[in-house]
Amino acid sequence: MNMSVKAALISALVFPGAGHFFLKKYISAALLTCASAGALYYLAFKIFEKALLISEQIQSGEIPLDVVAISELISKPLPGSEAQAYNIALLVLLISWLIGIADSYRIGHSQKNDS
């Protein structure tokens, strides 16, 4: 397996920027990793915040311990500005992942041609 495919697979399957670390492109790797980690941190924070709120409501007795009631609360959409920030974070994560895959393949291919 050549270097470009290996780097693209590492970037696709591990984390954005991992393929760049493999190719020793540390600045690009750090930028992709930081952008992806920041977006992932925000998404995880919002998910855990919503889960904590639902569990507190269950413990206080506001919500019955019923699968249907809990499912409705989980699937309830976020308020306007929160939904927009959530979507932006999701988009940043997706775009950085795709850029990481394509760019690590491109860099690996150019390094192969330079050798």
Read off the pLDDT band of 115 (50, 70, 90). low
Radius of gyration of the chain (CA): 20
Q: pLDDT (tens digit, 9 = 90+) per residue, 36-92?
A: 999 999 999 999 999 999 899 989 988 888 888 888 888 888 888 888 999 999 999
| Between residues 70 and 97, the one the model is more confident about | 97
In angstroms, the Cα distances linking 62 to 34, 35, 56, 77, 87 are 39, 38, 9, 19, 29
Q: pLDDT (tens digit, 9 = 90+) per residue, 48-57?
A: 999 999 899 9
**Cα 64 vs. chain centroid, distance in angstroms?**
33
pTM of the model: 0.84
